Chain A
Amino acid sequence: MIKVENLKKKFIRYENKKIKKEFYADNGITFEANDGEIIGILGPNGAGKTTLLRMIAGILEPTEGIIKFDNLNYKNNEIEIKQNIAYLSGNTKLYDTLSAYELLKMCSDIYGVQKEEAEKRIQEITKILKMENFLYNKIGNLSTGQTQKVNIARCLVHNPKYYILDEATTGLDIISSQIILDFMKQEKAKGKTILYSTHYMEEAENICDRVIMINKGIVIKQGTPKQIKEETGTTNLRDAFFTMIGGGSDEE
C-alpha cells in the first residue's frame, strides 16, 4: 500500500533576474493506493502531477509531508523502497547506442537480479511483450512503439511491486498507448499497485479503479470514476473536472 499524507513541494520561480517568487507545485496532497489498484492522477498541465509522482518515486525530495510504502519511508528505507518501484515517464529516453538486450541486462545488474534469474526474466518479458524480433537491435533504430515496449520491459525486469507511470501514453499513437494500457491491466491482475498520471480523462475513466483530480497543486476530488460522475452530476470525467474548477481551464 502507498500512503501519501499532506505532501508539499515548494519551488522558486524567477520573475526576472532579481525577483524570485516561491510557489507550491503540490500543496498538501493526501491519498492512499491499495494493492491491486490502479490510481489515476488527473489534472491539466501544470497541475502538479509530475512533481507528485517524482516525489513518490524518490526522484524529488518533498518540502513537507509523508510518503509510505507498506510502512517504509524514504528517510530510513530508500534503497528498499526503490528496489520495489518502477518509474516510467513520457520523457524518459533510452540509451540509443545500446541494444534492448544490453539495456535490460544493465537494469538487472543495477537491481541486483542474479545472472541466471535475469536471463530467465529477460526471455519471459521478451515473449510477453513480443520483442523477439528486435531484442538485439540498437534502441536508436527502433520505432516509437518498439522503444516503448523496451521501456516497459525495463520496468518489469526486477519484478516491482509498485508502478509509477507519469503520462506514459502522452504523444504515443493508439497502438503504442494500448501496449501500456494492456500492461497496466496485466500487472493489476497480479496485485501490483499502479499510480498513473494523465491528462487524457477518457483513458483514465476506462482503466482506473479510483482517480485523484488535482488542480494547482491541490486535490479537488477523489473517488471512483462512477462516484465522481454521480457527485458532480456529469456523464464523464472531463465534464466533472470542468464542473469542479468552475468551467474554465487556468493552467499555470
Chain B
Amino acid sequence: MKEICGLIKKDLLNLSSYKISLLVMLVCVFAIGSAGEEMWRYIPIVMTTMLGMIALSTFSYDELAKSDEYVLSLPVNKKEIVLEKYILVISMALIGGIIGFIITPIFTNILNNIRTENIINIDYNSLIFTTMGGIFGISLILAIQIPSIYKWGAEKGRIQMFILFFIIILLALGIAYLAPNLGININEEAINSFFQRFGILIVVCLLIIMYYISYRISNNSFRNKKN
C-alpha cells in the first residue's frame, strides 16, 4: 500500500501545477452559479467534472515523462499501477462532488447577502440529488475513459472523450425528443421519487459494477501493452 501511496503522491505533485487554473475555474463556477436562480445546481456537477478531468491529466504527465519504463521497475506490480490511477481518479471526482456540495450553500448565502433582490433558495434534497448525479455522470465517463487511455494513450483517449460526450448528449436529446413522439410519458415526478428513494443504492451498485469491469479491461490492456 505504501507504494501506491507513493504513486498517488507523485500524481498529486504533478497536479499541483494546476493550482492557478483551479482558482480560475472556481471563479468561473461561481460566475455560472450566480447567472440565474437555478444555476446553483451546476456547481457540484462542474466541480466533480473539473476534478475528475484534472485527475485524468496525470496520464498525460506520465506519457510526457515516458515514465512507464521507470514505474514498471519500481517495487509495485502492474495491477497496483493501474489500481493507483483508479483510486486517484475516483477520489478526485468524489472530492469534487463533496466540495461542490459544501460550497454551494456557502456561495448562495454570500450571493443572497450581496444581491438581496434575487434570493436563491436551495432545496437540499435536490442538492444531494444533483451532487450524486454529477458524481455518477463523471464516474461513468471516467470508467469508459481510463481503459481507452490504457489502450490508445492519453492523446487518442482525449478524442474518445469528446466522442463519448457527444454520444451521451445525443442519447439524452434523442430520448427527450423521441419519448413524447412515441407516446411514452416520462413522469418526472415518479422518476425523481424513485431516485430519491433508491438513488444512493442504485448509484453505488452501478458504480461498483462499472469500475470493476473498467479496471479489468485497463489491467488487461496495460499487461498486454507492456509485453
Contact = CB atoms under 8 A, between A and B. Distances in A.
26 contacts: A57-B73, A58-B73, A59-B73, A60-B226, A78-B75, A79-B76, A79-B77, A87-B69, A87-B70, A89-B69, A91-B69, A92-B66, A93-B66, A94-B65, A95-B13, A95-B14, A95-B61, A97-B16, A106-B10, A106-B13, A109-B9, A110-B74, A110-B75, A111-B75, A112-B2, A112-B6
A234 interface: no
Interface of A: 54, 57-61, 78-80, 82-83, 85-87, 89, 91-98, 102, 106-107, 109-112, 164
A101 B17 CA distance: 16
B141 interface: no
Given A60-B227, A97-B61, A111-B74, A106 B69 contact: no
B204 interface: no
B3 interface: yes
A164 B72 CA distance: 13
B114 interface: no
Given A54-B69, A93-B67, A95-B61, A78 B77 contact: yes
A197 B127 CA distance: 60
> What's the interface size class on B, roughly?
20 to 34
Contact of A92 (B13, B64, B70, B74): B70
A72 to B, nearest CB: 13
Nearest to B70: A92
Greatest chain A CB density within 10 A among B5, B66, B73, B226 is at B73
B67 A95 contact: yes
B7 interface: yes
Contacts of A57: 72-73
Nearest to A94: B65
Interface of B: 2-3, 5-7, 9-10, 13-14, 16-17, 61, 64-67, 69-70, 72-77, 226-227
A109 B69 contact: no
Contacts of B10: 95, 106, 110
Nearest to A91: B66
B82 to A, nearest CB: 15
Given A82-B73, A82-B75, A92-B66, A109 B6 contact: yes
Contacts of B65: 93-96
Contacts of A93: 64-67
Greatest chain A CB density within 10 A among B2, B61, B74, B227 is at B74
A95 B66 CA distance: 9
Nearest to B8: A109
B226 A59 contact: yes
B67 A87 contact: no
A106 B9 contact: yes
Greatest chain A CB density within 10 A among B6, B7, B9, B16 is at B6
Contacts of A82: 73-76
Given A78-B77, A93-B65, A97-B17, 15 more contacts: A61-B227, A82-B76, A86-B73, A87-B70, A87-B73, A93-B67, A94-B65, A95-B65, A96-B64, A106-B13, A107-B6, A109-B9, A111-B74, A112-B3, A112-B75
B73 A109 contact: no
Contacts of A86: 73
A86 B14 CA distance: 22
A86 B75 CA distance: 10
B6 A92 contact: no
Greatest chain A CB density within 10 A among B2, B65, B69 is at B69
